[in-house]
Amino acid sequence: MCAAWSGVSHNGSRGGRVNTEDVLGKAPLFAALDRESAAALRTSITEVQLSKGQTLFHENETGDRLYVVLEGKIKLSRTSPDGRENLLSVLGPSEMFGELSLFDPRPRTATATALTEVRLAGLGHDDLRPWLTGRPEVALHLLRALAQRLRRTNDVLADLVFTDVPGRVAKQLLDLAERFGNKTDDGLRVHHDLTQEELAQLVGASRETVNKALADFAQRGWLRIEAKAVVILDMDRLYNRSR
Ligand code: CMP
């Protein structure tokens, strides 16, 4: 077990809270399983709780677990040799991470940090392997999740080359809205839980440039800026700007 685990509270709970079953059921790992098999796999789960800002593991550490987010948000990041940070993704309920070191047993490719209070379901790679070899449908679902991630990464790469910063900001906001948006009276509230700096790291631009784009969108009436959130007021215009 890696050093980053110290201070992380583990318990063998099978998830006392109401929505754990639902959230897990939507995760790629469980989506292919019938009730009985899902219950069998769940016996290998260890629940992990993180407080806001706590790091679960660091890039380059040895990894022996895959996780599904049950509650809260996790950020996955990489740090350059000169200390700059790049945010790869923000994950919420039912999303999975930590599987790369399962399929390709090498060190962790990113650092995982809690953006909020977080509850995770952890599954040891050794517990999972027999499921993958014995149940091709589970392996197929995981492969699909990996393929979707590769598609997204390709899109992000292309955007870094071909799309200007405001376009990338619009795109990231729409991506966050799809996963974390809640309808309100006047629009879609996206509580992303990111600081301005983190949002800039996700977009791959300076904080100043990203703030300028956000202020411009707000001035045009496309969105309203709130603390660690935005309310999207004109989805169509934001969508057009992202293309
Ligand atoms: P692993 O390398 O075991 O630990 C870090 C995890 O971050 C990795 O598995 C993936 O689950 C996840 N990850 C790595 N790169 C990306 C990416 N580009 N987008 C989303 N998730 C990623």
> Within its chain, how far is the Cα of 29 from the centroid?
16
**Best residue for ligand 1 mutational test, from 64, 149, 153 (most atoms within 8 Å of Cβ):** 149
Strands 188-190 and 181-183: antiparallel
Closest ligand 1 atom number to CA of residue 102:
3
39 C-beta neighbours (distance < 10 Å), count: 12
pLDDT digits (tens, 9 = 90+) for 49-82: 999 999 999 999 999 999 999 999 999 999 998 9
- Using the predicted structure, report yes or no on whether residue 90 has a pLDDT greater than 70: yes
* Ligand 1 pocket check for 58: Cβ under 6 Å: no
> Please, where are the H alpha helices in 107-206?
125-134, 136-162, 165-180, 196-203
**What rounded mean pLDDT belongs to the chain?**
88
Cα–ligand 1 centroid distance for 221 (angstroms): 35
Confidence of residue 20 (pLDDT cuts 50, 70, 90): confident
Query: Other C-beta atoms within 10 Å of 7: how many?
Result: 10
195 touches 228 (CB < 8 A): yes
Domain-wise residue ranges, the chain:
20-161, 165-242
Specify the pTM.
0.89
DSSP state of 154: H
CA of 214 to the centre of ligand 1 (A): 28
CA of 59 to the centre of ligand 1 (A): 10
Ligand 1 site, residue 90, Cβ cutoff 6 A: no
Q: What is the mean pLDDT of residues 43-52?
A: 94
- Listed in sequence order, the residues at least 6 apart from 189 whose beta carbon sits closer than 8 Å to its beta carbon are 181, 182, 183, 226, 229, 230, 231, 232
Query: Looking at ligand 1, which atom is closest to the CA of residue 101?
Result: 3
Whether the predicted pLDDT of 197 surpasses 60? yes
Residue 134 Cα to ligand 1 midpoint, Å, equals 25
Choosing from 55, 95, 109 the residue with most ligand 1 atoms within 8 A of its CB, the one to mutate for a pocket test is: 109
pLDDT at residue 21 is higher than 90: no
User: 131: CA distance to ligand 1 center in Å?
Assistant: 21
- Give me the CATH topology for the region 165-242: Arc Repressor Mutant, subunit A (1.10.10)
| Cβ of 101 less than 6 Å from ligand 1 | yes
Indicate the CATH number for domain 20-161.
Answer: 2.60.120.10
Percent of the chain with pLDDT over 70: 93
Ligand 1 pocket check for 63: Cβ under 6 Å: yes
Confirm or reject: Cβ of 2 under 6 Å from ligand 1.
Answer: no
